[in-house]
Amino acid sequence: MAQKIPYKIYLSEDELPKQWYNVRADMKTKPAPLLNPGTGKPVTLDELSQIFCTELAKQELDNDTAYIDIPEEILSFYRMYRPSPLTRAYFLEKALDTPAKIYYKFEGNNTSGSHKLNSSIAQAYYAKQQGLKGVTTETGAGQWGTALAMACAYFGLDCKVFMVKCSYEQKPFRREVMRTYGADVTPSPSETTEVGRKILKEFPGTSGSLGCAISEAVECAVTNEGYRYVLGSVLSQVLLHQSIIGLETMTACDKYDIKPDIIIGCAGGGSNLGGLISPFMGRKLRGEADYQFIAVEPASCPSLTRGKYAYDYCDTGKVCPLAKMYTLGSGFIPSPNHAGGLRYHGMSSVLSELYAEGLMEAKSVEQTSVFAAAQQFARIEGTLPAPESSHAIKAAIDEALKCKETGEEKTILFGLTGTGYFDMVAYQKFNDGQMTDYIPTDEDLAKGFAGLPEI
Ligand SMILES: *Cc1c(COP(=O)(O)O)cnc(C)c1O
């Protein structure tokens, strides 16, 4: 007889994965290599090590090693907040009156409030190992900056965060959490970097973008001795660290004989989705099992569903290596969407390749429908979700309602990446009925595409 599935499945500390899984090892067509923007040739380890810590640069370029040991110090930090629970959404299933079984993996149970801590602690560890003084980064909504500040505090590293100006002003609480953990937070674009001064001159009064903040953080790293740049998403190394989410999920599923049919995640730069699906995708790539994977993005920043698969700059200042990815163009500045973590113009090159090969699907959803799903979820399942995570909730509810129509008993699994505690201004807009849905026109997108480099 099948065993009863508890509302929450908690793994024991001993069941915490000891290795990360690198899905690139099982991909027949590897993601296209990063290119040096100066020479147009694939970046070398030497070149990449000027920007990133050497060990992380190695992970970035490693398309072949399937399993990479998680260093003991990182494992012991993970034990402070992992394994994270896999929850059976019994209440939601009942409320939707669906035959579908719904599960979600919740990553919001740490002070930073999201999955980003899984990678920030790894990146801080390798920086410390290399004897660096500190790291620089950008943050949009603030989750990554917060996660990095926590990780740097743990290892005693200096942490310089360039925070997109509109968030710096609208999210004073996140800013103060970062400062409490010892980070130095600068609104971007700023006068402290050459690229920041240039952007300010060209677009006075701009409220900033992730692309600008990345350029400033990279410049700050390469011009300061003993500093390297770290990034919280998009990169293949970040997907590797985030595979901890998928590995734990797979262990929990195997233990209770749960076989997901559909796996859903929100997609900003692709790190939580990539991490959640990686081990399942590995099984699919090796022909051991089949799953339907769905990336969910905001209709206001639709890189997979409306972008081009092309080489592009990762930042507005064009200082980073070029990546082949689904992109809206590095000059694309999305309308002020309240899911700040989903506003990046591009997408992980690993997920981009999987999507191009038809191994993963993508859909876009509009903001007000996302907040309606968030509100429904909060009232029914108890947890107040982050707006980013709510994109996945919306898609999962849609799939469960389809099952209600067809009578199919599908198992739906989604990533609940974080809590919405710091997003109450957005919830306020929604509650007041003042939230709008802005969808870029083809002309808006054409402007972004016009800035794509010719390779
Ligand atoms: C940053 C963030 C995301 C999106 O980033 P990915 O790299 O696409 O995972 C999603 N949810 C939350 C809560 C975030 O903080």
* Ligand 1 binding pocket includes 215 (Cβ within 6 Å): no
pLDDT by 10s per residue, the chain, length 455: 467 999 999 999 999 999 999 999 999 999 999 999 989 999 999 999 999 999 999 999 999 999 999 999 999 999 999 999 999 999 999 999 999 999 999 999 999 999 999 999 999 999 999 999 999 999 988 999 999 999 999 999 999 999 999 889 888 899 999 999 999 999 999 999 999 999 999 999 888 888 889 999 999 999 999 999 999 999 999 999 999 999 999 999 999 999 999 999 999 999 999 999 999 999 999 999 999 999 999 999 999 999 999 999 988 778 889 999 999 998 887 877 777 778 889 999 999 999 999 999 999 999 999 999 999 999 999 999 999 999 999 999 999 999 999 999 999 999 999 999 989 989 999 999 999 998 999 999 999 999 999 88
Q: How far apart, in whole angstroms, are the C-alpha atoms of residue 393 and residue 405?
A: 19
3-state secondary structure of 78: helix
Amino acid at position 420, single letter: G
* Ligand 1 binding pocket includes 136 (Cβ within 6 Å): no
* Ligand 1 binding pocket includes 393 (Cβ within 6 Å): no
CB-based contact 35:43 (threshold 8 Å): yes
Tell me which residue has tokens 């394994």. 83
CB-based contact 105:415 (threshold 8 Å): yes
**For residues 23-43, b (16+ Cβ closer than 10 Å) or e, as one string?**
bbbbbeeebbbbbebeeeeeb
pLDDT number for residue 1: 47
pLDDT number for residue 319: 80
Phi, psi (rounded to 5 degrees) for 59: -60, -35
Shortest-distance Cα residue to atom 3 of ligand 1 = 341
Q: How far apart, in whole angstroms, are the C-alpha atoms of residue 106 and residue 108?
A: 6
Look at strands 361-365 and 227-229 and give their pairing. unpaired
Question: What atom in ligand 1 is closest to the CA of residue 342?
Answer: 4
Question: What atom in ligand 1 is closest to the CA of residue 108?
Answer: 13
Q: How far apart, in whole angstroms, are the C-alpha atoms of residue 160 and residue 423?
A: 23
- Angle ∠(285,290,292) on CA atoms, nearest 5: 105
Task: Establish whether domains 21-70+115-229 and 82-113+235-449 are of one fold.
Answer: yes
The CATH classification of domain 82-113+235-449, taken from the options 3.40.50.1100, 3.30.565.10, 3.40.50.11270, 1.25.40.10:
3.40.50.1100
Which 8-state DSSP code applies to residue 142? Answer: S
* Ligand 1 binding pocket includes 417 (Cβ within 6 Å): yes
For residue 296, the Cα-to-chain-centroid distance in whole angstroms is 12
3-state secondary structure of 303: helix
| pTM > 0.95: yes or no | yes
Question: What atom in ligand 1 is closest to the CA of residue 419?
Answer: 13
Per domain, the residue ranges of the chain are 21-70+115-229, 82-113+235-449
Question: What atom in ligand 1 is closest to the CA of residue 418?
Answer: 13
* Ligand 1 binding pocket includes 233 (Cβ within 6 Å): yes
Name the nearest CA neighbour of 208 among 220, 200, 219, 217: 200
* Ligand 1 binding pocket includes 342 (Cβ within 6 Å): yes
Specify the CATH number of the domain 21-70+115-229: 3.40.50.1100
